[in-house]
Amino acid sequence: MFNKKILGAFATAAYIGVSALFPAVAQADSKTVKITAIVEHPALDAVRKGVKDVLGENGYKVGENLNWEFQSAQGDVGIAGQIAKKFVGENPDVIVAIATPSAQAAVASARGTIPIVFSAVTDPVAAKLVKSWKASGGSVTGVSDMLPLEKHLQLITDALPNAKTIGVPYNPGETNAVVLVENFKKIAESKGINVVTASAPSSGDVLMAVRSLVGKVDAIYVTTDNTIVSAFESVVKVGIDAQIPVFAGDTGSVERGAAAALGFDYYDIGRQTGQVVLDVLNGKTAGDIDVQGVEKTNLHINLGTAKQMGLTFDEQMVKKAAKVVE
Amino acid sequence: MSLIAFLGAIETGLLFGIVALGVFISFRVLDFPDLTVDGSLPMGAATSATLIVAGVNPFLSLLGAIIAGALAGLVTAWLNVRLGILHLLASILTMIALYSVNLRIMGKPNQALLGEETVFTPFEKLIDLPYYWVTPIVLFAVIVILLVLLNLFLSSETGLGMRATGVNGRMAAAQGINTGKMKLVGIALSNAMVALAGALFAQIQGGADITMGVGVIVVGLAAVILGEATFSTRTIILATIGCVVGSILYRVVVAVALNADFIGLQAQDLKLVTAVLVVLAMTLPGARQKWAKRKSVKGAGQ
Amino acid sequence: MIEAKDIQVVFNPGTAIENKALRGMNLQIPESQFVTVIGSNGAGKSTFLNVLAGEIKADAGSVKIDEQDVTNWSTARRSGLVARVFQDPMAGTCESLTIEENLALASGRGQKRGFSHAVTAERRDLFREKISVLGLGLENRLEDKMGLLSGGQRQAVSLVMATLNPMKILLLDEHTAALDPKTAAFVLELTEKLVNEGQLTTMMVTHSMRQALDHGQRTVMLHEGRVVLDVEGDQRKNMKVEDLLHMFEKVRGEEIDDDKLLLS
């Protein structure tokens, strides 16, 4: 039995030796794209697919003229750092980093030597990935998944012209959620609308948090906060019981009961990112490209639950909708 | 693998070697399972990042992180020593509380440090080598200093008293050692070290993130145990060095696993591959011993 | 002088398993006296020793060491006054520490511990000297882990450890009970030697009436949490085990049926 162990050990040693001697071999005349995400998650996976599809549509075929490598940090910030270093050491044409911790690790390791395109980072300026949304030189750019908050606010005020206060449940431990809520508050208040928040550090706390908004708000708005979204049914229940219309930041929630949502698809964000990657591969300097926000939005409406929440949409809005759920 | 990836593994290994030393103090020296580290690592990161962004000197921010970590450790030990709460449970309580505390410290779940001056900046200017050499060199110096200080402490009268507390508390008390005090000091020291690692980590990684602490205890223990399996534990000095060796070994294994795609393994398989390689690394020395024994027994029989 | 006055200890009071372990223990041990304590199971001898050591708090009564009331002092606090050898060789030493480290721990008993090196060359010389007295060759193995030693060797080292620093009372807690007869004899001989050399005030709890009479100057017998017999001097000099038994029957009007006590 120990022989197998020795064999196994020798195999490991040989493998380590080989992999040390032969780093990822690049083919001549082909481009190398290394892509990483902090964790595997439907939204982040969709971004990756979007990037790959756009590259494919523009003549970059994996195995022919495109070296493509993906590594997931499996939720571990330490591993994200090691992945970043591995990528930098392999000197690709561009590194694509999905989500804030992976993007920060990539930028810290590359030190400006390799173009980096981030994606699905809500506030790239706060994350210190770029100095501003406008092209500011350097070698970093990307696509933010910051919600088009003005459009969301517009949606709510169009549906409820008399709304004065909006309630927002959120998880104070999610970076993106915190940023979104702060920004939404600023925008709403600049338009004379109050925002009341309720915090729910885990999905089990959502019901109670939303209940605390009853009697204080005219509408409830849920951002793309993973915690709240994961317990979305609780939010809908309170909305129906207390006759408070619930609006969401992502379209998936409309099927689960939100009255309406102006959402975007992470796949579309992926495609936008792919376009940026394409520009970089074709010679453009990353630092000369503006950071992009979400461009394509779709309006989804749920007439059934809207009615239960005491809300009727006018004809115009229903016509504009990309999808209507009865 | 590339030089940068290899040096990156050494660098991360040295950094988590500090964590491993902290875990060594609680788990091995004091026999006190301490999960506080899942909260004190990000606490160190949060404290350091917040201080640096507020304009404080990065070296002083390390001091802030160390103090924060020590306080966290004191809370856990106090819950156990004074209130009689089971050590494991006490550490979990503190870890949970630290989540909120860390959010309060940063004011948000992520505090970026990219572009800010760190403790590594002056060394990068001083040493005429690329940054991916400078960081591991500085960390190596830090580890050496910590190893020397820790071993001086553990071989001192008080340190010996702390070791006795973990091995045989009843006998230690009979020799006049205040076992309660030893636990307070030891757990505070352990978490102070982990918080220091957190602070350095944030400065290297470009930011402090509230999720940084998840799984730290597992990584720390893996390093300690890997060190024990592959390195000698005959004396305390060797055991502490072993913790750092184990941590580096673990990170090299991860780096190798990241390169496993050319034999058909994919990104999702990373943790599985890492685990398998760790098992191989642990059984190799044992297999060697068994083989030597077999040989001598065979010879004796003839 | 050690003075225990009216010590009462009740385990699990008010429950179905209430046990009145000590019901008014009174004992005075003058300086330099070597007293042996016997009693059948449940007589209270271990409990009494633990009260003196500080591991069990008396529910009533007081313990005074040289007029100092130490009744409420913790084990660690009174460790400067009390030295102890445990019954279980493993309980009294740190297995995973080396012999010299164990000795270094013991040489800190009763003193302030600072940050100076615990095992200095100076101390090592002292330890070597003290350990060579045992005649076991351990002085050449000071860097071995304690766990490598046999039970007898460990008890011998424990005795040396206990007597490294001065104490007001040396407590021997059935310290040969876990050893085979030959080794037990060796350890008892060593005990006599060290106690005589240092004129140490000693209390030895033993399960054996033989041992109790053969060592020390005074024998105290406990029964049901109290002292029932106390013999010393001429009365004790030529006593045999049967004599002790008869005395007991006279005092208590009952026979002892504890085999271990009678036959060992």
Q: What is the CATH number of the domain that holds B102?
A: 1.10.3470
The answer to whether domain A27-145+268-288 and domain A149-263+297-325 are alike in fold is: yes
Mean pLDDT score of chain A, rounded to an integer?
A: 87
Chain B neighbors of C86, CB-CB under 8 A? 171
| Selection from A287, A293, A323, A32 nearest residue A150 by Cα | A293
Would an 8 Å CB–CB cutoff place C104 in contact with chain B?
A: yes
> Is residue B234 within 8 Å of B36, Cβ to Cβ?
no
Interface of C with B in 62-91 (CB under 8 A): 74-76, 79-80, 82, 84, 86, 91
Residue at B95 is within a domain: yes
Residue at B138 is within a domain: yes
Tokens 């949502």 locate to A261
Would an 8 Å CB–CB cutoff place B283 in contact with chain A?
A: yes
Tell me the C-alpha distance between C221 and C43, whole Å.
9
Chains B and C touch (3+ CB pairs under 8 A): yes
Percentage with pLDDT > 90 across chain A = 49
User: For residue A108, what is the nearest residue in chain B, using CA coordinates?
Assistant: B206
| Selection from A179, A96, A91 nearest residue A140 by Cα | A96
| Selection from B253, B261, B200 nearest residue B229 by Cα | B253
Query: From the centroid of its chain, how far is CA C172?
Result: 1
What's the pLDDT score for residue B148? Answer: 97
Tell me the C-alpha distance between B135 and A305, whole Å.
57
Q: Is the pLDDT of residue B101 over 90?
A: yes
The pTM assigned to this predicted structure is 0.83
Chain C neighbors of B27, CB-CB under 8 A? none
Nearest neighbour of B254 by CB, restricted to A79, A108, A178: A79
Q: What is the pLDDT of residues B217-238, one digit of tens each?
A: 988 988 998 888 888 788 899 9
- Residue A2 dihedral angles phi and psi, to the nearest 5°: -70, -25
Mean pLDDT score of chain B, rounded to an integer?
A: 89
Chain A to chain B Cβ contacts (< 8 Å): 155
Tell me the C-alpha distance between A219 and A156, whole Å.
8
Tell me the C-alpha distance between C90 and B89, whole Å.
28
Query: From the centroid of its chain, how far is CA B16?
Result: 4
What is the per-residue burial (b if ≥16 Cβ within 10 Å, else e) of A51-75?
Answer: bbebbeeeebeeeeebbbbbbbbbb
Q: What is the pLDDT of residues A175-189, one digit of tens each?
A: 778 888 999 999 999
Q: Is the pLDDT of residue C127 over 90?
A: yes
| Selection from B77, B48, B76, B74 nearest residue B63 by Cα | B48
User: For residue A1, what is the nearest residue in chain B, using CA coordinates?
Assistant: B287
What's the pLDDT score for residue C171? Answer: 96
The range of the structural domain enclosing residue B157 comes to: 3-297
Mean per-residue pLDDT, B235-245: 94
Interface of B with A in 24-53 (CB under 8 A): none
Cα→Cα distances B76→A322, B87, B100, B130, Å: 55, 8, 16, 41
**Reduced to 3 states, what is the DSSP secondary structure of residue C34?**
strand
Ranges of H-type helices in C199-232? 209-214
Q: What is the pLDDT of residues A203-252, one digit of tens each?
A: 889 999 999 999 999 999 999 887 888 889 899 999 999 999 999 988 87
Would an 8 Å CB–CB cutoff place B132 in contact with chain A?
A: yes
User: What pLDDT band is residue C57 in, cutting at 50, 70 and 90?
Assistant: very high
> Is residue C261 within 8 Å of C77, Cβ to Cβ?
no
Chains C and A touch (3+ CB pairs under 8 A): no
Per the CB < 8 Å rule, is A101 touching B291? no
Q: Where are the domains of chain A?
A: 27-145+268-288, 149-263+297-325
Q: What is the pLDDT of residues C143-158, one digit of tens each?
A: 999 999 999 999 999 9
Tell me the C-alpha distance between A315 and A317, whole Å.
6
> Is residue B131 within 8 Å of A111, Cβ to Cβ?
yes
Mean per-residue pLDDT, C227-256: 79
Q: Is the pLDDT of residue B16 over 90?
A: yes
**Reduced to 3 states, what is the DSSP secondary structure of residue A135?**
coil
Smallest CA–CA distance, residue A279 to chain B, in Å, is 25
Tell me the C-alpha distance between C91 and B208, whole Å.
46
What's the pLDDT score for residue A226? Answer: 79
Exposed, middle or buried by CB within 10 Å (0-12, 13-18, 19+), for B260? Answer: buried
Q: Is the pLDDT of residue B76 over 70?
A: yes
**What is A27-145+268-288's CATH superfamily?**
Response regulator (3.40.50.2300)
Question: Domain total for chain C?
Answer: 1
Residue-by-residue DSSP string for C148-181: GS-HHHHHHHHHHHHTSS--SEEEEESTTTTS-H
| Selection from A225, A227, A226, A223 nearest residue A206 by Cα | A227
| Selection from C80, C78, C61 nearest residue C70 by Cα | C78
Chains A and B touch (3+ CB pairs under 8 A): yes
Chain A neighbors of B112, CB-CB under 8 A? 104, 126-129
Tokens 């050893």 locate to C179
Nearest neighbour of B176 by CB, restricted to C79, C104, C114: C79
Mutate to test the interface with B, among C77, C94, C97, C173 (most CBs of B within 10 A): C94
Q: Is the pLDDT of residue B41 over 50?
A: yes
Per the CB < 8 Å rule, is A86 touching B5? yes
Q: Which helix (H) or strand (E) holds A37?
A: strand A31-37
Q: Is the pLDDT of residue B206 over 60?
A: yes
Indicate if ipTM > 0.90: no
Tell me the C-alpha distance between C125 and A85, whole Å.
54
Would an 8 Å CB–CB cutoff place B3 in contact with chain A?
A: yes
What's the pLDDT score for residue C146? Answer: 93
Smallest CA–CA distance, residue B166 to chain C, in Å, is 9
What's the pLDDT score for residue A10? Answer: 55
> Which long-range contacts does B121-124 make (Cβ < 8 Å, 24+ apart)?
B121/B58
User: For residue B152, what is the nearest residue in chain C, using CA coordinates?
Assistant: C117
Per the CB < 8 Å rule, is A82 touching B287? no
Q: Is the pLDDT of residue A2 over 50?
A: no
Tell me the C-alpha distance between B98 and A157, whole Å.
40
Of residues C211 and C40, the one with the higher pLDDT is: C211
Q: If you average pLDDT over each of A19-28, B114-123, B278-287, C235-244, which comes out highest? A: B114-123
Q: Is the pLDDT of residue C93 over 60?
A: yes
**Reduced to 3 states, what is the DSSP secondary structure of residue B175?**
coil
Show the tokens assigned to A65: 């003229």
Per the CB < 8 Å rule, is C115 touching B163? no
Residue at B302 is within a domain: no
Half-sphere exposure of B254 (CA within 13 A, CB side): 32
Residue at B20 is within a domain: yes
Domain A149-263+297-325: state its class: alpha beta
The range of the structural domain enclosing residue C241 comes to: 2-263
Q: What is the pLDDT of residues B128-173, one digit of tens each?
A: 898 889 999 999 999 999 999 999 999 999 999 999 999 999 999 9
Positive or negative torsion for Cα C132, C136, C141, C145: negative
Q: What is the pLDDT of residues C4-55, one digit of tens each?
A: 999 999 999 889 898 899 999 999 999 999 999 998 878 889 999 999 999 9
* Rg, C-alpha atoms of chain B: 20
Would an 8 Å CB–CB cutoff place C171 in contact with chain B?
A: no
Tell me the C-alpha distance between B71 and B175, whole Å.
28
Half-sphere exposure of B275 (CA within 13 A, CB side): 6
Question: Domain total for chain B?
Answer: 1
Chain B residues in contact with chain C using a Cβ-Cβ cutoff of 8 Å: 152-153, 155-161, 163-164, 167-168, 170-179
Tell me the C-alpha distance between C60 and C54, whole Å.
14
Smallest CA–CA distance, residue B32 to chain C, in Å, is 16
Per the CB < 8 Å rule, is A72 touching B267? yes
Mean per-residue pLDDT, B49-55: 95
